Amino acid sequence: MSVTQRPWWKDGVVYQIYPASFKDSNGDGIGDLNGIISELDYIRSIGVDVVWICPMYDSPQVDMGYDIRDYEDVYAPYGTVQDMERLIAETHSRGMKIILDLVINHTSDQHKWFLESRSAKDNPKRDWYIWRPARYVNGERKPPNNWVSNFTGSVWEWDEHTQEYYLHLFCPEQPDLNWENAETRQAIYKSAMEFWLERGVDGFRVDTVNMYSKGEMLDAPVTDPGSEWQFAGFQYCNGPRMKEFLAEMNQVLEKYDAMTVGECPNTPDMKRVLEYVSAKEKQLDMVFQFDVVDVGQGPYKFQTTPKNWTLPHLKRAIARTQHLIRTPSDGWTTVFLENHDQARSITRFTSDAPEHRVAGGKMLALLMAALSGTLFIYQGQEIGLVNFPETWDMSEYKDVDSSNYYKMVGARTGGDEEKLAEAKRALQHLARDHARVPMSWSTAPHNGFSPPDSTAMPWMRPLDDAATCNVAQQQSDKSSVLAFWKRILQVRKAHNDLLVHGQYDDLDVEDPEIFVFSKTWMGKRALCVCNFTDRAKTLEVPEQVRGEKMELLVSSVEGGVDGELAAYEGRIYLLA
């Protein structure tokens, strides 16, 4: 593709906002749309082009807004549809785009469609959700299959009133919509998509995009013998009608020139991923693969120990996402290390020890900025926020995923204290809660998240370390993580051919301490090298580039030493 034909979303840097935890303008302890509007200049100042707002729709908040009661309304504590219209206009007036979360695999059980659907078997909307009769085993009522939900337990919920089960791949309060029904699909497009496209949004991050077509829903193989419920992600993801559904959805999106980035779990098959993102297939513009953020996770979420990964694991995962765009691919890829479902990347991939966290944050920023694809930053990542500490009690974990897991371990082990301590250690490392704490804006009360005179406590405990890590301080500190993000995004923009679009080649996959790769674009080349250890290391020039002239473009450490990388230092060189 010629440079002039590049769509805006390829070079754009996206900043993800979690409304509940970004900024509380009215002192009720919950972030809101006016809070977001008040910080748009800050977001712009980082070098961001696109703002992504996590679900701000009307919702009972069982899964933090991923359970939508009304697509056409806003969760009252966040604001109103008029506030959204203002947010859209204010974002555009600063030259940025805005995208929303599109959650259309399921609704809330309080959505009027589901209330109708569950009211009677002959209700016209009965078939808008997935209802099945029970199966009886030795006279005992059992769900239609053995699938485990993403949040533990069966995916089926018994409905006393109509004597059938309904499917929910997530919480029971998140019933799955029946995409097989054409009328349902049209209603989804109209209510969830067109309502907001008409109001000017520029695209969507599409939640669990590959789960709409469930296939035959046969029993999953037993991979967890201790449980009645089994992992079925490979069955309900990427089902037989996905292509057709996405093509249909695209007819709506195309009218508005809207971009899409689809969340694509359980898809290790790169051929399948490429089908989703290939330009000529017209399915999705890009996807979030799970390869990188799953590094160090166990076979079952949280069944692992902290830092249970090696650098070659991480490199291989990154390579898979980078190779998606290797010639002759006509696809596109994404770069991200954090989002609202992931713990903080400094803690996971470098070190959150006080003496290393700044270096770790800057090195990861440099690494990300050197990778090809659309770059996504999650709120707080730009100042180097880290996980909250082990000393925090289980009651500080508010996420349904974390608390269900902890409860499940308790139930399965008869409350074994050692197993519960192990589960808490895993959560301290990997829980989604770490991304969901209030943003640390300053050292003011509530870390500046809520107004100083606010009496309501923030909905989650603010971090204890705001004195050493907050936006206000970093804005005036040239050596801060924030200052480095600003700088590295400028470097990325100035060298976008190489850094955003270039071909990625890992130059030493097996090195467990140094990550070194090259980027190539039409005869231009760059070398990126990152020291993933907490010690200085000799800078070994990889043999593939030995003899070439290396001009230092940027380092994540000031006053770096020739021939040596400091602990957690990253560098980009231009080669000639």
Where do contacts with ligand NOJ occur on this chain (CB under 6 A)? 63, 66, 103, 170, 207-208, 263, 340-341
User: Is 263 noted as a catalytic residue in this protein?
Assistant: yes
Catalytic residue among 63, 67, 207, 399: 207
C-alpha 32/C-alpha 83 separation (Å) is 10
Please, what is the minimum distance in Å from the beta carbon of residue 563 to ligand NOJ?
44
Distance CA 305, CA 298 (A): 8
**Rounded distance, CA 25 to CA 541, Å?**
51
Q: Nearest to residue 431, comparing CAs of 303, 343, 352, 304?
A: 343
Minimum distance, C-beta of residue 103 to ligand NOJ, in the bound complex (Å)? 5
Alpha carbon 304 to chain centroid distance? 20
Beta carbon of residue 65, minimum distance to ligand NOJ (angstroms, whole number):
9
Instruction: Give me the least distance between CB of 307 and ligand NOJ, in Å please.
Output: 24
Query: How near is the Cβ of 535 to ligand NOJ at its closest, in Å?
Result: 36
Active-site residue (options: 32, 39, 49, 263): 263
Pairing of strands 57-58, 70-74: antiparallel
Radius of gyration of the chain measured on its C-alpha atoms: 24
170/504 with CB nearer ligand NOJ: 170
Is 418 a catalytic site residue? no
Query: Pick from 332, 378, 361: which is nearest to 500 by CA?
Result: 332
Closer to ligand NOJ by CB, 49 or 341: give it. 341
- Supply the minimum distance, in Å, between the C-beta of residue 340 and ligand NOJ: 6
Give yes or no for a cis peptide into 133 (omega within 30° of 0). Answer: no
C-alpha distance from residue 197 to each of 19, 36, 91, 553 (Å): 20, 20, 15, 41
CA pair distance 418, 413, nearest whole angstrom: 10
H helical segments located in 94-194:
112-117, 182-188
**CB-closest chain residue to ligand NOJ:** 66
- Residue among 340, 357, 15 nearest 348 (CA): 357
Given a contact cutoff of 8 angstroms between Cβ atoms, the answer to whether 550 and 527 are in contact is: yes
Catalytic residues: 207, 263
